Amino acid sequence: MRLIIMGPPGAGKGTQAKFIAEHFGIPAISTGDIFRRNVSEGTPLGVEAKRFMDAGEYVPDEVTNKMVRNRIEEDDAGPGFLLDGYPRTLAQVEELDGMIRGTGHQLDAVVVLTVDQDEIVNRLLQRAQVEGRTDDTEDVIRRRQELYTEQTEPLIGVYRDRGLLVEIDGMGEVDEVTRRVFKALDVVPES
Ligand code: AMP
């Protein structure tokens, strides 16, 4: 199973990604989490990524692509994976196509969580307090949303044209959103 979860910053991708990945027994691969881990460990990748992340900008494609390629070549991703936060640009879509083609598999579905913009800002400001993320200040949040609209939203059309898009209303309780995702993916709930 090879899945992507998309949606604007604060749409709840990470939360839903964990439930979906667990259900299918595949790793949830979050590029943001990998970058943050590298930042906190002070690796060269982390040092490189931090200045972009703190400004709410995208880390350059060549850095991000290489990182994802290495990650999906790991053993646990053999049966599949759920990508959270990648691809974010059209160039990354092409790159991912190549990576998946190389494994002889194909992408199964792209889940998009749709949410209300005001709700997102509130969620992100709350998360900033809880997690202490340095990229959750109001200016940076605005920049990240702008970039999403400019560079990432166009990917929705690409995947819709390929018949892979699964659009989910991301508003409401976490459990409710999970139920919608599973229903759309034809998953029978466990009792
Ligand atoms: P996220 O946790 O997915 O919101 O990602 C946090 C930050 O990591 C983003 O604002 C970017 O700076 C960087 N990042 C994560 N994924 C990507 C990606 N696919 N392309 C470029 N930058 C990324």
d(CA 145, CA 121): 9
Domain count, the chain: 1
**Is any atom of ligand 1 closer than 6 Å to the C-beta of 7?**
no
Looking up residue 73, the CATH number of its domain turns out to be 3.40.50.300
190 within some domain: no
191 within some domain: no
Is the Cβ–Cβ distance between 114 and 7 less than 8 Å?
Answer: yes
Angle between helices 31-41 and 61-72 (to 10 degrees): 100
Domain interval for residue 22:
2-184
65 within some domain: yes
What is the 3-state composition of the chain as percent helix, strand, coil, each rounded to the nearest 5? 60, 10, 30
Q: Tokens standing for 40?
A: 């906190």
Q: What pLDDT is recorded for position 119?
A: 75
Q: What pLDDT is recorded for position 136?
A: 75
- pLDDT truncated to tens, each residue of the chain (191 aa)? 999 999 998 899 999 999 999 999 999 999 999 999 999 999 999 999 999 999 999 999 999 999 999 999 999 999 999 999 999 999 999 999 999 999 899 999 999 999 987 778 887 888 777 887 777 788 888 899 999 999 999 999 999 999 999 999 999 999 999 999 999 998 655 54
Question: What's the pTM?
Answer: 0.92
Q: Ligand 1 test: best mutation among 58, 63, 131, most atoms within 8 Å of CB? A: 58
**Is any atom of ligand 1 closer than 6 Å to the C-beta of 86?**
yes
133 within some domain: yes
